[in-house]
Structure 1
Amino acid sequence: MQLTPVLTQQALLDAMQESPQPGQYARQYLEQGQQRLNQAFESTDITDLVHARAALVDQVMIAAWSLFGLADQADTALVAVGGYGRGELHPCSDVDLLMLLADNSDASVFDRLERFVAFLWDIGLEIGHAVRTLDECVDLAREDITVATNIMEARTLAGDDGLRIRLEERTGPEQMWDSAAFFAAKWEEQVGRHKRFNDTEYNLEPDLKNAPGGLRDVQMIAWVAKRHFNADSLESLVDVGFLTKEEYSVLRKCLDYLWEVRWQLHTLTGRNENRLLFDHQRQLASRLGHEDSSANLAVEVFMKGFYRVALAMSVLNEMLLQLFDEAILRSDEPEQVRPLNRRFQVRNEYLEITHPEVFSEHPSALLETFVLMAQNPDLKGIRATTIRALIYNRRQIDDAFRADPKNTALFMQLLRSPNALFTQLRRMKRYSILGRYLPEFGAIIGMMQYDLFHIYTVDAHTLLVIKHMRRLRYEDMRDEYPLATEVFYRLPKPELLYTAGLYHDIAKGRGGDHSALGEVDALNFCQRHGLSAWDGKLVAWLVKNHLVMSVTAQRKDISDPDVVYEFARKVGDLVHLDYLYVLTVADINATNPTLWNSWRASLLRQLYTETKRALRRGLNNPVDKQDWIDETRESALKLLTGQDHDAAKIEALWANIGDEYFLRETPRDIAWHTEAMLDRENPNDPLVLIGETSQTSIAGGSQIFIYTPDTRNLFSATVNALDTLGLTIMDARIITSVDGFSLDTYIVLDEQGTPIGDDWARIEQIRKTLTETLKHPDRFSTTVSRRMPRRNKHFDVPTQVVISNDIVNDRTAVDIQTLDRPGLLAHIGRIFMRFELLVQNARIATLGERAEDVFFITDLDGEPVSDPALCQELQETLTRELDDKNNGNN
């Protein structure tokens, strides 16, 4: 496939001059040239393509310069800067130009330059341009490091090259921005850039140009090298000893990979797009040759490769910039060296090996490095030369190394370290020590799950779990995690918790049940590292059951004593409960920051507290439901009669309500509801109570209690109104009294995941909207005003509906998993209404783009749905209609 331009420079100029529409001719020439380059993608080195694209644009640019009579203009130069100056262009990259003028240039040139730039825009090039005199460029370069950097990469396309040479001389390191100042400014620039991307290579929709590990990090190395060493290429850093051949090879491969992704991204979007948005990830995976497998989606394989490249690039950037720092900024610092042992010393507050052969002579020092860093938290970091030696010698970590008792003891010493465990594990991961010592961990590095629930890669999430565990040691965490901090301090061996955290997701991406597979890996780790049989079984049990507590709390009715009893039987004793609770809290916090809210915290706290009581009472002595109901009624009655309410009226009201209400609600809430029901002026108007109740004040959620005549579409109307109000439903309890009234309790959070609080204007708005809706629930609007979030539209979440009978509570459970979208609950409610079914209870959970809701329903007579044909029809209807909503993206 031909990469060089079809026409010579002169032939192209002649053709443009002869054409009645030179702009249209130039545009077509560029488009045809780009088509040839795209067709050559599969068979051509990406470096050649990037340079060929720049050469194609060069040719049109130079011809256009002549077309507007600028070639003969004295004291004027057309200069390529930025990536274009380096001769590197992707299909839709900005074409950065400097039109450089002598300080005494003829004013008539500006009209021609203006028409020249307009022509470039007309032929479809994205131009970034500046028209400046030599003196203006020098003044700007002195003030702005970005301008100085652009000048370093400039090359003359047409006109007087002497102008560029003089500009380069006047802006060189002898005149401004010497090596130290330039490096300090560029490093500060990089720190700010990385901060905008949360200092991570692992964003869900990464920017392959500007984020950590992106193309800018490579350019940063090149800029500093050029300024300090006058190096014209990254390869020349090998000659001056600042880059090994192996490091250059890695850097080149990473750069080529990022270029391939960027080339395809530009081709796919038709614009200068550098963000790997969900909109494009699947198509890019296909374009780059990835396919779905039984264990992983193609997009997950693609993104794993991307993240691994970004991490490798980021580590090289970090190491090389630290080498520059030591050679440029700190070259004149006095040396302060103190020994730690025969293998390590501290130089100017950085750890380093005592001689270059330490790791080859003492392989265990590869792990000892991080143990010493944890034991000396005052150290600022590891010297760049030692990082390089670590990375080079990591190949020594093999099966024999892993089996060596000296090394297993060092790793356990690190896990038991009181300081900086997360920091050292993160360092070990970055330098590929952790992934080699624990190959099962190495397999999950960069692994992503294509959803909005898991916003971190599996390896990043795993280390964040340990970070959240470690945070519970701090006193200032008590307010945010009062129970978790208390339980953490009771754990006899925290290192068992950290090990469970390290292994809880270790088997993801293999296919099969990752909890069961991880259980085996965890047990093997414990045996290899000399833990006792009991400790090993505890860790393995935690890994196998790490999801049980969150699933029970969020998807089951934990106000039901039977649910609590079954969970208590699962954990068996208080030690297992304590470890599992802390692991669950850390896991949720490290999965997605938006998941941990006051409501989820309260559910876990309630489950923990009730389970602890059940364990203390004894598993052979479960609580009796009727005793629970009687005790709740008695406590609520005491509260009410203590405020001079008539006991006879209370009992008369309660006689119609039924036992389930007293099983689900707390005595204080029952008293609050009852008082309002007895005191209401118009018995035909809906009663709407909103407040932070005894249960939700601990939870931090807001309770909305509704007492109104029951109708079949009451649930749909209510959830639709709540959705319109921007409230997120966390829990719903629907109870129908004997006399035809519905007692509905909704636990809600606002759009920020917090309770409504004492915002009385907001409370009154909610009360008024609900009251008006419930007066005529059959008239409620089905229009959804909120649009589906952009990210959700790109996920294929096939609707899954499982219908089963809850024999204990005499009702039918409908478990629905589908794509979340505005109006979802109201739509589900309308389907139930069409089937003449009543919603008695609901547990609502939104996990990223996925809604996982459980509804407990009965027929109009309050009986479970027993007709298999009706259940099948309901399942098919829910699946069909909700999938139709998925496909239409609402």
Structure 2
Amino acid sequence: EAGLPLAPATVSALAAQSPPLPVPWPPEARGALVALLGAGRAAVPVWEELDQAGVLVKLIPDWERVRHRPQRNPVHRFTVDRHLIETAAGAAAFTREVSRPDLLLISALLHDVGKGWPGDHSTTGEIVARDIGTRMGLPPADVEILSTVVRHHLLLPETATRRDLDDPVTISRVADAVGSREVLELLSALAVADGNATGPAAWNSWKASLVSDLVRRVRSVLSGTPPRPHRPFPPEQAALARHGGGAVRVNGSAVTVVAPDRPGLLWRAAGVLAAHRMAVRSASAASAGSTAVIEFVVVPEYGTPPDPATLEADLRLVLAGRLDIEQRLARRARSMRPSRVPVAPPRVTLVDDASLTASVVEVRAHDRPGLLWRIGRAFGECGLDVRAARVETLGAEAVDVFYVADRTGRPILDEQQRIQVREHVLAALR
């Protein structure tokens, strides 16, 4: 709390002379841990010194499983143990915003502790966090909250970026999993701290706004107030929507398309971006009435970005049906050198019970130019319309989710048709 480094002699004395803590810990020890984590950034070097001296594994034996452990996902900046203390340091900024700051700090410290064991780290982490919470002397009710937060620490960001927030099923499922406003506020703060500690590829203003919207809706349900079925367009989008033939705005890396809703709008707009060497880092598509809004966050694949006026003009031509983007992309594909680096095969999954009004298709693949265009065109060839979409690129991997319906506006129920859709999208990706 004083912001001072630990003296080497002090660290050595702690490592050599400190007796083991009784189990469960006395309240004073638990309070000291919370006070250390609550110091924020100043806690990181102190924690590192204690870790290097072997003090932490005496206090928390399970910590040994994550010490110096590398991350599997390249979006992470730190090893697992460093990421945990960085997250706890970041969570200290939100202790005034939650009713249980102690549980926020401890859950931030333990949220990825399951990565030291095989299997889904959220599932194994719940078990380990329950054991550690009991060891620390937390009351049973607090142990349950801690284990629930660790189990669902990815629930908010994954749902916000991979599900349609206007679908009532999405909100009700999150509310059922969270169970209380206390857990919701802990998960909300942890999502921000975890994302910031992971790196810029894992957290940005787009994801933050989606998570905030999801939290607001779930809080309404937990309070007994049904959420609004549709988000109103922001003022700038509402102004664009007044243009009957559609409108386009290019503002730096943000590209917004507002147009009359019709099949193929998403993938045709994505094709224009690909033709202009723009890689889609994230995207969301939604509709209200007869108007569709697509928001892209893009970066140039290399070099400088294209002229915004030219990009906007081509997007308008596509909206008007006066530009054959497929020929442009075909010429570009022929000029590209195929990659010699082997990558994992793509995966296409139809998610059951995620919506009552549409079929939810999750696509995971190695990112490459025109990926979103190919996926959307495959849906069109299957006679499907994309009702909503959440597109996210994490490092070199794309995680894209689409809400699709057939020409009658219904989800895909026939099992044979579901298999055909899956195989058709996979063929397009290959």
Question: What range describes the TM-score normalised by the shorter chain of this pair?
Answer: 0.7 to 0.9
Q: Does residue 382 of the first structure (1) align with residue 7 of the second (2)?
A: yes
Distance 1:734 1:445 in 2: 43
* Letter in structure 2 aligned against 1:704: V
Q: Deviations over 1:716-744 (max 9, x none)?
A: 3210112344253633436598xxxx743
Question: Are the equivalent residues in 1 in contact too, given 2:11–2:50 (CA < 8 A)?
Answer: no
**Is the Cα contact below 8 Å between 1:728 and 1:749 reproduced in 2?**
yes
1:595 Cα offset (Å): 2.0
The SS at the match of 1:844 is: strand
Match of residue 140 from structure 1: none
Partner of 2:87: 465
Q: Are the structure 2 counterparts of residues 716 and 561 from structure 1 closer, same or farther at C-alpha, using a change threshold of 3 Å?
A: closer
How big is the shift at 1:509?
A: 4.0
Show the counterpart of 1:834. 381
User: What amino acid sits opposite 2:89 in the alignment?
Assistant: K
Q: How many residues align?
A: 418
Q: Which of 122, 130, 135 is the aligned partner of 1:515?
A: 122
Asked which structure has the greater RCO (Cα within 8 Å, sep 6+), the reply is: 2
Per the TM alignment, residue 852 of structure 1 is displaced from its structure 2 partner at its CA by 1.1
AA aligned to 2:256 is Q
**Structure 2 stretches lacking a partner, 5+ long:** none
Tell me how far 1:382 sits from its aligned partner: 1.0
Give the aligned partner of residue 846 of structure 1.
Answer: 393
CA distance in 1 between partners of 2:81 and 2:345 (Å)? 27
2:280–2:393 CA contact under 8 A, matched in 1: no
Structure 1 residues 731 and 787, CA gap change in structure 2 (3 angstroms): farther
* Distance in 2 of aligned mates of 1:838 and 1:406: 57
Deviation (angstroms), 1:796: 3.2
Deviation at 1:490, TM superposition (A): 3.2
Pairwise CA distance, 1:768: 0.9
SS at 1:489 equivalent? helix
**Against the structure 1 CA distance between its residues 416 and 515, is the aligned structure 2 distance closer, same or farther, given a 3 Å change threshold?**
same
Residue 575 (1) aligns with residue 203 (2): no
C-alpha distance in 2, partners of 1:789/1:589? 36
Structure 2 vs 1, CA of residues 609 and 804 (structure 1 numbering), >3 Å: closer, same or farther? closer
Q: CA deviation at 1:824?
A: 0.7
**Preserved contact between residue 800 and residue 817 of structure 1 (Cα < 8 Å):** yes
Aligned pair partner of 2:271 in 694, 717, 720:
720
* Amino acid of the structure 2 residue aligned with 1:612: R
**AA paired with 1:751?**
V
Name 1:879's counterpart in structure 2. 426
Q: 2:243 aligns with which of 649, 652, 676?
A: 676
CA contact 2:385–2:406 (8 Å) conserved in 1: yes
Which whole-Å CA distance do the structure 2 matches of 1:874 and 1:542 have between them? 36
The 1:853–1:793 alpha-carbon spacing in structure 2 relative to 1, beyond 3 Å, is farther
Conserved? CA contact 2:56–2:63, under 8 Å: yes
Indicate if the aligned counterparts of 2:248 and 2:258 stay in contact, CA closer than 8 A. yes
Supply the AA of the counterpart residue of 2:152: N
Aligned AA (1:747): E
CA contact (8 A) 1:704 1:746 kept: yes
Within the alignment, does 1:766 sit opposite 2:311 as a pair?
A: yes
- Structure 1 residues 729 and 688, CA gap change in structure 2 (3 angstroms): farther
Alignment of 1:217-256 (within 5 A): none
Q: Report the residue type matching 1:675 in the other structure.
A: R
| Runs of 5+ consecutive residues of structure 1 not aligned to the other structure | 1-373, 473-484, 630-662, 678-685, 693-699, 753-758, 885-890
Judging changes above 3 Å, is the alpha-carbon distance between structure 1 residues 403 and 501 closer, same or farther for their aligned structure 2 residues? same
State the alpha-carbon separation in 1 of the partners of residues 181 and 33 from structure 2. Answer: 27
Between the aligned partners of 1:687 and 1:524, the Cα distance in structure 2 is 57
> Distance in 2 between the 1:386 and 1:405 partners?
25
Q: Does 1:422 align with 2:44?
A: yes
Matches of 1:405 and 1:855 in 2, distance apart?
48
| Shift of residue 664, structure 1, vs aligned partner | 5.1
Counterpart code for 1:552: T
Shift of 1:848: 2.1
Aligned to 1:8: none
Query: Is 2:57 aligned against 1:439?
Result: no
CA distance in 2, matches of 1:872, 1:771: 35
Match of 2:146 in 1: 539
Tell me the secondary structure at the aligned position of residue 403 of structure 1: coil
Determine the structure 2 residue equivalent to 1:776. Answer: 322
Percent identity of paired positions between Structure 1 and Structure 2: 26
Q: Note the alpha carbon deviations across 1:141-166, whole angstroms, 9 max, x for none.
A: xxxxxxxxxxxxxxxxxxxxxxxxxx
Residue 546 (structure 1) shift: 0.9
**Shift in Å at residue 448 of structure 1?**
1.8
Shift in Å, 1:601: 0.8
1:615 Cα offset (Å): 2.7
Would you say the 8 A contact 2:241–2:259 is kept in 1?
no
Contact 1:731/1:843 (8 A) holds in 2: yes
Q: Distance in 2 between matches of 1:563 and 1:580?
A: 16
Quick check: 1:717–1:777 contact (8 Å CA) kept in 2? no
**Partner SS for 1:512:** coil
2: CA distance, partners of 1:504 / 1:751: 32
TM-score, scaled to structure 1: 0.43
Q: CA deviation at 1:815?
A: 1.0
| Shift of residue 746, structure 1, vs aligned partner | 1.4
Taking structure 2 as the reference length, the TM-score comes to: 0.84
The residue correspondences of 1:317-716 to structure 2 (distance < 5 A) are: 374=1, 376-377=2-3, 379-383=4-8, 385-388=9-12, 393=16, 401-403=20-22, 409-410=28-29, 412-417=31-36, 418-419=38-39, 420-470=42-92, 472=93, 485=94, 488-616=95-223, 618=224, 622-623=226-227, 628=228, 663=230, 665-666=232-233, 668=235, 671-677=238-244, 687-690=246-249, 703-707=256-260, 710=262, 713-716=264-267
Q: Distance in 1 between matches of 2:336 and 2:133?
A: 46
- In 1, Cα distance between equivalents of 2:73 and 2:97: 36
- Mapped to 2, the partners of 1:491 and 1:664 lie a distance apart of 26
User: Secondary structure at 2:114's aligned position in 1?
Assistant: coil
Q: Give the conservation status (yes or no) of the 8 Å contact 1:814–1:857.
A: yes
Superposition map of 1:155-170 within 5 A: none
Checking the alignment, whether the CA contact within 8 Å between 1:451 and 1:795 is kept in structure 2 is: no
1:797·1:850 contact (CA, 8 Å) conserved in 2? no
Q: Does 1:730 align with 2:278?
A: no
For residues 511 and 430 of structure 1, what CA distance do their matches in structure 2 show?
Answer: 25
Cα distance, 1:416–1:706 mapped onto 2, change above 3 Å? same
Are residues 794 and 500 of structure 1, via their aligned partners in 2, closer, same or farther at CA, if it must alter by over 3 Å?
Answer: farther
